[in-house]
């Protein structure tokens, strides 16, 4: 496994007492981690709690940290466990409209004409709704792939399944999201680079 | 769809979906969350890490620790047995006498009082012991009386100077 020396080095420096190293490490990973958690639990408040918990565990375990894998894998392994605990505690919150608004109502690209901004926002909203509608395992595989940038081996390790299962989950997630893009473009071709690959979805 | 076409479609679909996902962007981390996390990390550096409770340690370490604990306990137990055995030998005669005197009239009572006693304070009174030996000898049970007297002498060597309790004895 390829080890990311810079992340590991930052973690080791933080363990030695260098706060600036932690700040650099945090800045590097905070955004993918926050988005991963937010899209897993669909609640801004729950995502904030889990976000703090993940970093708190990283801080608490700094003396036991060993360079055995990429720091990113380590971080998202903790995040996965926190999210699973959250779901097991039955704290499935209904979809937080505030969180979804923050996901879907961001301004579009500046080069877009004003008359297409609403259209863009609609497509964006539809895409994230499709993402939110994915089964938990498929959504997680997709988010670990896209946000954390992990490969199938690491996704399988974090989610404690075989590589083939992880691959299958990721593939189904991509097909469903791809279909949502196709549906959007079939209705109104507004997005750049439309995907036009209607495929029958195999039974899970 | 042919497998090769399917793979090609999957790759292209993954690229499209990935591009759309990244292009749509997402929320930023709230600044107050940044402050909370960084403050916590800073404070953690200021205080020493807490020692982990034993069960919080990785499972791989536990057998080794339990093995060391087991060896230590076995050593302590062995030492205790050795000390106990030495003490038992010291007062052994009192214990070894029990089968002899238990056959007597008061045997059951004596056994209940002194069985397995390792306390020197619970040894038999020498006068009473000699009286029992004399009683055995008086009943004509000389072999038992001789054995009991040997035990008596082992327990009370100083009393070896005393005259035999029974004048008719060969001692």
Please judge whether A181 and B1 are an interchain contact, meaning their C-beta atoms are less than 8 angstroms apart.
no
Q: Is the pLDDT of residue A74 over 70?
A: yes
ipTM over 0.95: no
Nearest CA in chain B to A62: B49
Closest chain B C-alpha to A31 CA, distance in angstroms: 6
Instruction: Evaluate whether A96 touches A43 at the Cβ level (below 8 Å).
Output: yes
Q: Is the pLDDT of residue B84 over 70?
A: yes
User: Phi, psi (5° rounding) for residue A86?
Assistant: -60, -45
Quick one: CA dihedral B139, B141, B144, B149, positive or negative? positive
Pick from B65, B3, B68, B13: which is nearest to A195 by CA? Answer: B13
Which residue of A63, A109, A175 is in closest CB contact with B49?
Answer: A63
Distance CA A183, CA A196 (A): 9
Among A5-19, A111-125, A160-174, B136-150, the least confident range: A111-125
Who has greater pLDDT, A4 or A172?
A: A172
What is the torsion angle, in degrees rounded to the nearest 10, for the CA atoms of residue A151, residue A153, residue A155 and residue A160? Answer: 180
B2 Cβ partners below 8 Å, 6+ apart? Answer: none
Token look-up 């996390």 returns: B37
A76 Cβ partners below 8 Å, 6+ apart? Answer: A33, A36, A144, A148, A150, A158
pLDDT at res. A103: 52
Note the helical H segments in A42-160. Answer: 44-60, 71-88, 97-104, 114-133, 136-146, 152-159
Please judge whether A127 and B20 are an interchain contact, meaning their C-beta atoms are less than 8 angstroms apart.
yes
Structure tokens at A113: 């004409």
Query: Which of A83-87, A113-117, B49-53 tops mean pLDDT?
Result: A83-87
Angle at B126 between CA B123 and CA B129, to 5 degrees: 90
pLDDT at res. B111: 47
Residue B24, sorted as left (phi over 0), alpha (psi -120 to 50) or beta, turns out to be alpha
Confidence grade of residue B80 (pLDDT, cut at 50, 70, 90): confident
Is residue B31 less than 8 Å (CB to CB) from chain A?
no
pLDDT, one tens digit per residue, over B85-125 is 766 555 545 444 444 444 444 544 444 444 444 455 556 78
Which residue of B17, B40, B45 is in closest CB contact with A178?
Answer: B17
Q: Is the pLDDT of residue A89 over 60?
A: yes
Who has greater pLDDT, B82 or A27?
A: A27
Distance CA B87, CA A40 (A): 70
When pLDDT is averaged across residues B144-168 and rounded to a whole number, the result is 73
Distance CA A159, CA B118 (A): 63
Token look-up 């993954």 returns: B14
Nearest CA in chain B to A122: B24
pTM more than 0.80 = no
């Amino acid at each position: 496994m390829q080890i990311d020396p810079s992340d590991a080095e930052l973690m080791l420096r933080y363990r030695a007492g260098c706060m600036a190293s932690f700040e650099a490490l945090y800045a590097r990973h905070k955004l993918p981690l926050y988005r991963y958690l937010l899209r897993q639990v669909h609640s801004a408040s729950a995502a904030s709690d889990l976000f703090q918990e993940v970093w708190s565990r990283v801080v608490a375990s700094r003396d036991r940290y060993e360079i055995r894998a990429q720091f990113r894998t380590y971080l998202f392994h903790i995040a996965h466990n926190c999210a699973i605990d959250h779901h097991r505690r039955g704290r499935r919150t209904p979809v937080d409209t505030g969180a979804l608004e923050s996901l879907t109502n961001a301004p579009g690209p500046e080069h877009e004409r004003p008359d297409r901004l609403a259209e863009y926002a609609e497509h964006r909203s539809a895409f994230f709704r499709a993402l939110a509608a994915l089964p938990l395992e498929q959504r997680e595989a997709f988010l670990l792939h896209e946000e954390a940038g992990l490969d199938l081996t690491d996704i399988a390790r974090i989610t404690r399944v075989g590589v083939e299962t992880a691959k299958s989950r990721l593939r189904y997630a991509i097909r469903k999201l791809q279909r949502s893009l196709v549906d959007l473009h079939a209705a109104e071709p507004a997005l750049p680079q439309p995907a036009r690959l209607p495929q029958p979805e195999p039974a899970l | 769809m042919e497998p090769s076409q399917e793979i090609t479609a999957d790759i292209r679909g993954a690229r499209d979906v990935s591009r759309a996902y990244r292009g749509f962007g997402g929320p930023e981390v709230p600044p107050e969350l940044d402050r909370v996390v960084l403050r916590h990390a800073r404070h953690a550096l200021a205080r020493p890490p807490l020692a982990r409770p034993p069960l919080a340690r990785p499972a791989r370490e536990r057998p080794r620790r339990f093995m060391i604990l087991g060896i230590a306990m076995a050593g302590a137990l062995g030492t205790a047995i050795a000390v106990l055995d030495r003490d038992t030998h010291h007062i052994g005669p009192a214990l070894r006498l029990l089968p002899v005197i238990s056959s007597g009239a008061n045997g059951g009572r004596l056994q209940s009082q002194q069985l397995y006693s390792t306390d020197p304070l619970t040894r038999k009174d020498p006068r009473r012991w000699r009286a029992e030996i004399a009683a055995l000898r008086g009943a004509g049970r000389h072999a038992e009386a001789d054995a009991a007297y040997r035990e008596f002498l082992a327990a009370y060597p100083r009393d070896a100077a005393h005259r035999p309790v029974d004048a008719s004895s060969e001692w």
